[in-house]
Amino acid sequence: EGAPVSTLMEHYMLDTMLDLAGFGEGEGQMTTGSSNGNMIAMLAARNQAIETGKEQGLFGHSPLLAFVSADAHYSLDKAANILGLGTHNLVKVPVDEHGRMQPQALERLLQQHSQNGKIPFFVCATLGTTVRGAYDSLPPLVELREKYGFWLHGDGAWGGAALLDDELKKHFLPGIEQLDSFTWDFHKMAGTNLMCNVLLFNHHRGTLRCVCSAGEHSYLFREEDKNAELDMGTASLQCGRRVDSLKWFLDWKFFGKKGLAERIRHYLALSEYAEQVVHGIPELEMTVPRESFNVCFHFRTPENIPANEFNLELRNRLFKQGISLVGIAYIEEKLTLRLLITHPDYSRADVDSFFSNLVAAGKELMHEHLQG
Amino acid sequence: EGAPVSTLMEHYMLDTMLDLAGFGEGEGQMTTGSSNGNMIAMLAARNQAIETGKEQGLFGHSPLLAFVSADAHYSLDKAANILGLGTHNLVKVPVDEHGRMQPQALERLLQQHSQNGKIPFFVCATLGTTVRGAYDSLPPLVELREKYGFWLHGDGAWGGAALLDDELKKHFLPGIEQLDSFTWDFHKMAGTNLMCNVLLFNHHRGTLRCVCSAGEHSYLFREEDKNAELDMGTASLQCGRRVDSLKWFLDWKFFGKKGLAERIRHYLALSEYAEQVVHGIPELEMTVPRESFNVCFHFRTPENIPANEFNLELRNRLFKQGISLVGIAYIEEKLTLRLLITHPDYSRADVDSFFSNLVAAGKELMHEHLQG
């Protein structure tokens, strides 16, 4: 009611996103970020698993179990805490050498826990893990869902942007149309200003309202309203909201699906190039092979210099000297430098100068270490 | 790490707000709105009440009970759903003729439910109810807390702005420094752009981090970091965030506490004036006496014209003719028009013209009704 035009823009964009994902008879919503999107999906699954959950709470019910890969984002842990499920009831499934959830391991864990009287209700596939950029494979998870009947959610916060390009979608997201829900951030690779997250539900029209709505709110929402169907307020966990749909709609109209798809392909091409550059520099080494958009590498160190400390020092020096702020993370306790390219004007020349600056600083630091 | 200056601004503003509220050794955070602030406060109370709640969830535990006034905001119902407590475990305490929670009724309900094996853990005082603008009286609730040991939260989403003026604070918020937590929206009366909500904890340093943090997030937050204490990421439920502290800090520096206090006093004076105007117009009537900033009135109707339908029609006509968009709400099933003044340039002349337009449209509509 307060912003009718932007509400129509939001509907238009959400419908467009549902089409892209291949979700039939679905619905969507803009949230405050994928952390929030993941939580709402888990909430919907929880209230579906425990029919009385919304009114009576979880007290006295058999424990529910959620499953994610060991490399999933920490927002899933937060969601398990917030929703009253408990972080110990979020089971971490081992990943394979590519950083993808192992379906066989998932099935073993599903069987094992079901025997203990716990109820598996939710599996989250990470579509583009935070550190390595790995995409969990969906078809085997869809198969397991047939057997175990859980809610299958896709966290595409980072990697979901592959949806914008038909080829990348086929390559990275096969089976996405089978998910029960999917969330991704338009403010990451797609470049819209913060915040711009979208959460999509498949074959679940009305679920959002049912899950999120509660309490007496007739000062805002009234059934006599002819446009109640269009009003998105009762389906949101927020009360007041920024008009985030405007910038999203304008970006979409200005760049178009094609323009944004080119952007994503450009990022992928640059990360392929960056991997080649790393291979060509003797001082550097890929920490793990590149899975998608993430380039995880480190500076090689001789045996007498601890690699993690050295790379951390190198990274801090680059930051303090105002040269660059590189992401770092740990892969199996090994510190890795993590290059993610998300600026549309970034070019091969920028990749070159990033690495040559880094190598120069690294050599200098190595020199100091060997002398000191 | 990504925005060090705005992090310092946020710390500065939160410390200032803690001082204003009289919270010693407290901590604060910016959230996505009071709906979110209320939920996080309830989450903190829940995890304090059930020590194993964060890890094990609520399964198998005796039901917890939260209490709010019957006029509290619907976000509390949502929070009870999200947190796994169940909306039926949110008890609505009757209000007195001013729209304030009745402490005697609260005590009766506390006793009654404790006997049934349920555990009261959270009471939320509404400080400025959405519809009537009533402030629950804090001292009797503080007394009950001594006896029953619950977490006492204050929802000042709307009315919390009274904090900015020492006299209004004394009048509307006596005892606020005794609360366990308090949330209010700087984007409402105080006028900062959406979103700008603050959640404050009293005597609870470290609680936010303990409550909200979960999972492996070393790609962002690392203990070797000397400034880990300053980093607010692990205490937030969001991962990426907008730099909301900048606009807040600048508003504070530009207008100052004094300037903002004047603004709030100006709103109060205008609503006093609006009430007088209503009293002076025979066609209008106050639905209930004014409690604070909210002016709840309606157009009088003869017995043969249903008051609610008429006022709704009047309100829609004003909207469609582009004259004004007036809030409406129900007080004991009686539809009321609800004037809230939150623009700093609004003057007595604006109040006059608002009412004269409304009365003109109302007379016209009445004429049509009596003829038709």
pLDDT digits (tens, 9 = 90+) for A139-161: 999 999 999 999 999 999 888 88
Asked if the C-beta of A85 comes within 8 angstroms of chain B's C-beta atoms, the answer is yes
Token output for B70: 């019957």
Identify the band that residue A196 occupies on the pLDDT scale cut at 50, 70 and 90. Answer: low
Contact A35 B214 (CB under 8 A): no
Q: What is the pLDDT of residue A185?
A: 80
Asked if the Cβ–Cβ distance from B194 to A80 is below 8 Å, we say no
User: What are the distances in angstroms from CA A137 to CA A178, B127, B290, B339?
Assistant: 12, 50, 60, 55
Q: Is residue A62 within 8 angstroms of chain B, CB to CB?
A: yes
The pLDDT, as a whole number, for residue B198 is: 78
Average pLDDT of the residues in A190-200: 67
Report angle CA B11, B13, B17 to the nearest 5 degrees.
Answer: 115
Give the residue, A239 or B319, on which the prediction is more confident.
B319
Pick B257-371's CATH classification: 3.90.1150.10, 3.30.450.20, 3.40.50.2020, 3.40.30.10. Answer: 3.90.1150.10
pLDDT of residue B216: 65
Nearest residue in B to A59, CA atom: B59
Q: What residues are paired with B124 via a beta bridge? A: B68, B153
**Chain B 249-308, residues with CB within 8 Å of chain A CB atoms:** none
- Residue B137: strand, helix, or coil: coil
Rounded to 10°, the helix B244-280/B4-21 angle is 40
Nearest residue to A363 (alpha-carbon basis) of A351, A355, A352, A340: A355
Distance CA(B329)–CA(B225), nearest Å, equals 51
The CA distance from A245 to A14, in Å, is: 10
Statement: residue A75 has pLDDT above 80: yes
- Of the candidates A81, A238, A242, which has its C-beta nearest B214's C-beta? A81
**pLDDT for A209 beyond 80:** no
- Of the candidates A2, A61, A238, which has its C-beta nearest B59's C-beta? A61
Rounded Cα–Cα distance for residues B49 and A20 (Å): 45
Distance CA A109, CA B370 (A): 73
CB contact under 8 A, A218 and B83: no
With 0-12 / 13-18 / 19 or more C-beta atoms within 10 angstroms meaning exposed / middle / buried, residue B226 is exposed
Question: Is the pLDDT confidence value at A293 over 80?
Answer: yes
- CB-based contact A78 B215, cutoff 8 Å: yes
Question: What per-residue confidence (pLDDT) applies to A322?
Answer: 84
Partners of residue A83 in chain B, C-beta under 8 Å: 82-84
Mutual angle of helices B348-371 and B307-320, in 10-degree steps: 120
- Better pLDDT: A211 or B223: A211
User: Higher confidence at residue A258 or residue A236?
Assistant: A258
Tell me which residues of chain B have a pLDDT lower than 70: 1-4, 187-196, 204-206, 208-249, 251-254
Contact B215 A73 (CB under 8 A): yes
Is 3.30.1490.100 the CATH classification of the domain at B4-242? Answer: no
A43 touches chain B (CB under 8 A): yes
The pLDDT value given to residue A191: 56
pLDDT recorded at residue A206: 64
Topology alike, domains A4-242 and A257-371: no
Residues 6+ apart with CB under 8 A from B352: B277
> A217 pLDDT band (50/70/90 cuts)?
low
The answer to whether residue A322 neighbours chain B at the CB level (below 8 Å) is no
Paired residues of A286 in beta bridges: A297
| pLDDT computed for residue A193 by the predictor | 61
What mean pLDDT is predicted for residues A99-105? 97
Mean pLDDT computed over every residue of chain A: 85
What's the pLDDT score for residue B264?
87
Task: State the pLDDT at residue B337.
Answer: 94
pLDDT of B4: 63
The complex's ipTM works out to 0.81
Domain boundaries, chain A: 4-242, 257-371
The residue among A86, A104, A85 whose CA lies nearest residue A94 is A104
Please compute the mean of the pLDDT values over residues A178-196 and round it to a whole number.
Answer: 74
Residue of A nearest to B64 (CA): A59
What pLDDT does residue B18 have? 87
